[in-house]
């Protein structure tokens, strides 16, 4: 069997998101046939995403069905040529138009959920004026400096961490003007030894000001997630965040609704404390994927205060909602990356 024969076999493997087979889509980077061993490089950019796991599994199934032994690798071409964060496959920003919607909680649980799936993950707390991530993951260790004056981030729950909270006193306010913020953010992006990551999750500050502009202009974003709660006031501000990404040509992966239905632990009744369906309606109105809804659950607050992300609690229903959200986000990141291969 030669390479053309293998390509003919691979035409049976479809990418369900892109709606065609992986050969026609150009997702086969390279292949080599050596006896019964077939070495294949696939243009898959979202490690441990359900869709890309299924594509790889289908490739193995097709080849093994013909008595071949597949050896698969996955990479999106040319990403390593990026000047900023060359070792990071996907950079995803978590944003909100206003504070108080649980953006940092969503960012922490997204990053921890991706790491729990087996991915190499970094979490960058870019909320300069209100950095809460170290508390939310109970990170006691601080970054270390190397002889070349780069920064080695600490790790927790399989995630590399960086936050302004590591740089200032626990109770010290950050009172800086724009130029200082720009300088520090640039340093935290470029001087941190993130290494090779599958995902870098960036917790943006709320709103649409100078800090967000600096990050959008500096980071090679793969996409962004917009966080809202169901009520109209939050959705109105989320719309502003969406327009900010549109003006900077940043792909919006979708919308996640936080603090949705509350289930009473005593009576089992459901209560729409902040309204219902606002996030879904917002996504539909803007032709965006709806990445999921996260219930209003005291265990989320407890996990944040105690430094134990609820997404890691296998027995928690809200943790399952976060796990589904992390999987949906990974699938969308993979879709964006694979779509770019054929363009």
Buried b (16+ CB within 10 A) or exposed e, 169-198: eeeeebeeeeeebbebbeebbeebebeebb
Q: How is residue 130 written in tokens?
A: 């209100």
Q: How far is CA 133 from the centre of its chain?
A: 15
- For the chain, the distance separating the N- and C-terminal CA atoms, rounded to the nearest angstrom, is 31
For residue 225, CA distances in Å to 45, 325, 329 come to 18, 11, 8
Buried b (16+ CB within 10 A) or exposed e, 22-41: bbebebbbebebeeeebebb
Q: Confirm whether residue 84 is marked as ligand binding.
A: no
**Distance between CA atoms of 80 and 58, rounded to whole angstroms?**
27
Question: Which residue's structure tokens are 């990026």?
Answer: 82
Q: Confirm whether residue 98 is marked as ligand binding.
A: yes
Q: Confirm whether residue 156 is marked as ligand binding.
A: no
- Residue 53 CB contacts under 8 Å (≥ 6 apart), including other chains: none
Element (H, E) at 215: helix 210-218
For residue 169, CA distances in Å to 131, 165, 174, 301 come to 12, 7, 10, 24
**Distance between CA atoms of 143 and 163, rounded to whole angstroms?**
9
Q: Confirm whether residue 97 is marked as ligand binding.
A: yes
Are 198 and 264 in contact by the 8 Å Cβ rule? The answer is: no
**Distance between CA atoms of 127 and 205, rounded to whole angstroms?**
4
Q: Confirm whether residue 99 is marked as ligand binding.
A: yes
Q: Confirm whether residue 19 is marked as ligand binding.
A: no
> Could you tell me which of 216, 225, 251 has the C-alpha nearest to residue 322?
225
**Distance between CA atoms of 249 and 243, rounded to whole angstroms?**
10
Query: Residues marked as binding for ATP?
Result: 97-104
Query: Residues marked as binding?
Result: 97-104
């Amino acid at each position: 069997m030669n390479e053309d024969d293998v390509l003919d076999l691979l035409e049976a493997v479809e990418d369900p998101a892109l709606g065609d087979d992986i050969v026609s889509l150009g997702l086969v980077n390279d292949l080599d046939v050596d006896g019964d061993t077939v070495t294949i490089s696939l243009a898959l950019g979202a490690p441990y995403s359900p869709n890309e796991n299924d594509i790889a599994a289908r490739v193995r199934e097709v080849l093994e069905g013909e008595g071949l032994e597949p050896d698969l690798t996955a990479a999106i071409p040319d990403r390593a040529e990026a000047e900023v964060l060359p070792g990071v496959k996907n950079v995803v920003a978590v944003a909100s138009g206003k504070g108080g919607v649980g953006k940092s909680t969503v960012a922490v649980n997204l990053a921890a959920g991706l790491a729990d799936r087996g991915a190499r993950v970094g979490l960058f707390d870019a909320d300069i004026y209100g950095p809460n991530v170290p508390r939310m993951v109970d990170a006691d260790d601080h970054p270390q400096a190397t002889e070349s004056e780069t920064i080695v981030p600490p790790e927790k729950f399989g995630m590399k961490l960086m936050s302004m909270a590591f740089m200032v006193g626990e109770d010290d306010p950050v009172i800086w003007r724009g130029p200082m913020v720009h300088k520090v953010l640039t340093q935290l992006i470029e001087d941190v030894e993130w290494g090779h990551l599958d995902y870098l999750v960036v917790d943006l500050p709320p709103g649409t000001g100078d800090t967000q502009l600096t990050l959008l202009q500096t980071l090679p974003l793969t996409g962004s997630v917009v966080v809202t709660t169901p009520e109209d006031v939050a959705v109105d501000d989320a719309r502003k965040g969406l327009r900010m990404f549109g003006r900077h040509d940043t792909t919006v992966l979708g919308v996640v609704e936080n603090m949705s239905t509350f289930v009473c632990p005593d009576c089992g009744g459901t209560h729409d404390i902040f309204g219902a369906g606002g996030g879904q309606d917002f996504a539909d109105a803007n032709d965006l994927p709806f990445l999921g809804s996260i219930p209003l659950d005291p265990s989320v607050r407890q996990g944040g205060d105690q430094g134990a992300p609820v997404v890691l609690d296998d027995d928690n229903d809200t943790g399952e909602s976060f796990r589904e959200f992390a999987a949906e986000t990974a699938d969308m990141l993979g879709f964006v990356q694979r779509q770019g291969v054929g363009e």
